[in-house]
Structure 1
Amino acid sequence: MSNSATTTTRAHHTNAPQGTEQTHTLIIVVQDRPGAVDRVVGVLRRRRSMLQSLALAPSTQSDVFRITAQVKDAEVVVDHLVAQIRKVIDVLEVANVTSEQAINRELALIQVGTTNSDSNIIVAAVQQFGATVIDVNPEAVTFEVAGDAEKIAQALAAFQTYGIRDVARSGCVAITRAATTK
């Protein structure tokens, strides 16, 4: 038996050094047919994607859904993943967009415990994040904040001192930027 260390690699992955992965945003447009979304998610699962976020919603077109998936991996791996998703029969379009090519947003509902004395302080602090208060009662304040992942993280850090009771996050949704003509 050898003393040399062995490494295990995932199928269809590069030998890129650990820590060189990047977050990629995939926008997938899929026909709304039985099992279509399952097949797309199945490709993500079978390819062992390091899935960071998955959001699904109807499109403006009837019988079409839009999936936004964020995966963290090397560029070559994501390119291969995109090629595999394109092979799914109900997929109409797949795009791997960069942060410069797309606008990314997330929604978080945050519930913070309160007392009668700090309720007004919390409501005032919420406004500095551009958040909207959804519910105020003697035990908790619930508000929504929308923005990029960094803004959500900042809001969570700021309200940690008040005692966050619960958080519900939507995951990333993205839309490509409109092309500008000169």
Structure 2
Amino acid sequence: MTREEYLQRPSIEGVVYKIDKNEIRVQNDCTLFIQIRNCRKVTLQEVQARFRQLKQEASASEKFKLKGTTKFMPAVRELYPAYRASCDDIERLFAELTEFVQRIKLDGIHYGCSDDELLEAATQRQNEISKYYWRNSAYSRFLTYDKCIRNAMLDRPWEDEETVNYTLTIA
């Protein structure tokens, strides 16, 4: 089927397009066609600074102990190059996806959209990006390390008066 034949079909009504630098979402009331987020950038220096701050909190508090500190930064440093490469690839794929979705927005999504070549290409880019969000990827593991520190610094459970002893295993 040619693109022109596909575009002759009736359009699907109520499709909402959200396209910005952080997220792409294409949906209507009953179907989510595309939803993906761009790379979340975190520098190695930011993670190191938060880790130093967390260690200072642990040494200043008698209730708070950190476990896994000797393994944490080496693991983060080892993952960082793969994380950066993943970010670069995610950003490249996200830019391609943005172009496809802009073109889809101009043409609209029509009934029988499984025949839409642009939507298929956009879905393929979305799926390639989604692989980086899998738990076993370097990108996801690096962000998990960062999230562990961020959550500890936000929650600060060792400052609760009822807490007698708090141990945080970070690696």
Which TM class, normalised by the smaller chain length? Answer: under 0.3
Structure with greater Cα Rg: 2
In terms of fraction of residues, the more helix-rich structure is: 2
In terms of fraction of residues, the more strand-rich structure is: 1
Q: Which one scores higher on RCO, CA 8 angstroms, separation ≥ 6? A: 2
